[in-house]
Amino acid sequence: IQYRFAETIIPSPHTTPESVDLQRTLRELVKLGARSVVMEVSSHALDQRRVDGCAFDIGVFTNLTRDHLDYHKEMDCYLESKQRLFTELLVADAKKPKRHAVINIDDPYGSLMAGSAACPVITYGLMSEALVTARNVRFTTSGISGVLVTPVGETAFHSRLLGRFNLYNILAAVSVGVAMDLKVEVIRAGIEGHDKVAGRLESVDNDRGITVLVDYAHTGDALENVLKTLQEIASARVITVFGCGGNRDRGKRPIMGEIAGRYSDMTIITSDNPRREDPETIIGEIRAGIVPLGIKEYTVEELSSGFDEKGFIAMEARREAICLAVRLARPGDMV
């Protein structure tokens, strides 16, 4: 986690720093010449009022799915924390008359967020009536192409990012451009000039004829979006290696297990930052979501010659799990 400007990198221990640290960081960015800042505002930060001293111009709501319930306890509390950005911190006033809320109207909570916003709203989406959308969309292994439809015009585009969830991210960015009164040509150039996001379906070069991708997905919704994307564009098998972090929401573990098992040809459950928990306990809770699918549970010995039947295996050592996935992959497969 870090903040970047030009060649300067400022590490951060949290998605959104504590209020004093945040203001210090913003001051440093101003000294370096920054005039605009894009930041991720966590629900923790909103709940703890870390950003109450920030005068936001634009706020973006992407989605709300099960996460951080170890902190918020209930989805309603999680929702209320997220809403603060749009109901309390983005109020149009004399100082900031052009404040905007950008809302994913396709999300189940999108209409609620839009209806409660205290400033003008720009909606984006693919399924619902939205101000910013896309048509004639194609998803391939080389990216996304289609036509962007906005209040300031339409334009054909191609992005090297992969998958439907990245199209939603693109539409969010386009909507911010609209809120900033940018021309559609400038918006398109920005979209097409961006080729990857670190840790988000990030490609790993190799000479084995396989596609290797790294993604940060750590919720059921995020994992499902990633695996659905791969199933849409895959020409062969999908092999998934994943785990769940320790001392975090335990309820999502079997959910993520079930999703991985459903959308993957081979699922390898492994350890992922267990913190102060027993890795085997975490793996067992993930496994509990896969077992009811009725797919085959393999042993290492059974996989020594590869696999033909859909299945899964649990192994704690992460390095060994990754090595196994690459070894099992045939040309054309996705890991």
Summarize pLDDT for 292-328 with one digit per residue, the tens.
Answer: 999 999 999 999 999 999 999 999 999 999 999 999 9
> Which of 243, 240, 255 has the alpha carbon at shortest distance from 281?
243
Query: Is the residue at 230 inside a domain?
Result: yes
For CA atoms 24, 28, 30, 31, the dihedral sign is positive
Query: Is the residue at 319 inside a domain?
Result: yes
Question: In sequence order, what E strands does 141-201 have?
Answer: 143-150, 153-159
Q: Which one is predicted more confidently, 11 or 70?
A: 11
Is residue 133 within 8 A of residue 141, CB to CB? The reply is no
**pLDDT at residue 2 is higher than 90:** no
Question: In sequence order, what E strands does the chain have?
Answer: 2-5, 8-11, 58-61, 100-104, 121-124, 133-140, 143-150, 153-159, 202-204, 212-214, 239-242, 266-269, 296-297, 311-314
Query: Is the residue at 47 inside a domain?
Result: no
Query: Is the residue at 275 inside a domain?
Result: yes
Domain with 250, as residue range(s), is 202-328
Query: Is the residue at 96 inside a domain?
Result: no
Query: Is the residue at 91 inside a domain?
Result: no
Domain of 280, CATH number, reads: 3.90.190.20
Number of domains in the chain: 2
Q: Which one is predicted more confidently, 328 or 196?
A: 328
Query: Is the residue at 284 inside a domain?
Result: yes
Query: Is the residue at 229 inside a domain?
Result: yes
**pLDDT at residue 66 is higher than 80:** no
Give pTM, 2 decimals.
0.84
